[in-house]
Structure 1
């Protein structure tokens, strides 16, 4: 889990994709408009990460990372705080995340990213001058 968080923080797409199983997927059950519900397979994950890598938020640190083992040896739950900045303004960005991973033979089969979309919507509104929908 540390490797996938570091790869995301460092925008190391090759490392991130290499941690995924060939047909693995990433899901966002709670997401702001415009974010896909799921990207599956290394090709689609790579494409999605390339398109969003230079997005409007840059995560610089993960704090208070807690890893919860489950009764299923393939499943782990990770809680953490993502701290970063808005690329365009430099304003602080913070978000609490819960992620559920299924891992087999060192590869991520599934990554369910339970982000809170409200900080993302607030950040976008601060950049565009709009209000949260």
Structure 2
């Protein structure tokens, strides 16, 4: 049975929310590229390749924020069967500080042969910058 691009996007979003790095990475093509066109300083704009993405997620991203839920998730299937656009609100916690995090996200995914080949994550960079600043200021207070 052939899996649709939307089904792959749903699986990827579920793995992301559950912070299941291995399941997430298994849904990526070997040369997949994840991009963050809008981001605060210190956050890479692009990570390419399944192994580099796994490394990024395990060493930098996981443990920074935990996601409790994604709300208002809307999948937009396009005239290109490979492209799915997803809108959602991520609700979670900044782990080092315990501060709540609410992020509105639009993601554009290109999925070919059941694997994500491109993932552009349009998040609000101000929310992420505030979370990073709260972690930095918390670390400064501990010194």
The alignment's TM-score, normalised by the length of structure 2, stands at 0.84
C-alpha distance in structure 2 between counterparts of 1:127 and 1:109, whole Å: 32
Higher helix share: 2
| Corresponding position of 1:119 | 127
SS at structure 2 position matched to 1:30: coil
- Map of 1:22-33 to 2, 5 A cutoff? 22-33=30-41
| Corresponding position of 2:137 | 129
1:81 aligns with 2:106: no
**Aligned length in residues:** 130
Show CA shifts across 1:66-119 (max 9, x none): 001111111010000000011123221101000000001110010000011101
C-alpha distance in structure 1 between counterparts of 2:115 and 2:17, whole Å: 19
Stretches of structure 1 that go unaligned for 5 or more consecutive residues are: none
Paired residues of 1:11 and 1:53 also in contact (CA < 8 A): no
Residue 63 of structure 1: how far off its partner (Å): 0.5
Which runs of at least 4 in structure 1 moved beyond 4 Å after TM superposition? Answer: none
| Corresponding position of 1:63 | 71
C-alpha distance in structure 1 between counterparts of 2:61 and 2:129, whole Å: 18
Would the alpha carbon gap of residues 127 and 35 (structure 1) be closer, same or farther in structure 2, given more than 3 Å must change? closer
Residue 57 of structure 1: how far off its partner (Å): 1.8
Paired residues of 2:97 and 2:134 also in contact (CA < 8 A): no
The alignment's TM-score, normalised by the length of structure 1, stands at 0.90
Stretches of structure 2 that go unaligned for 5 or more consecutive residues are: 1-8, 139-143
Name the stretch that deviates more: 57-66 or 45-54. Answer: 45-54
Match of 2:22 among 3, 14, 17: 14
Larger relative contact order (C-alpha < 8 A, sep ≥ 6)? 2
CA RMSD in angstroms comes to 1.5
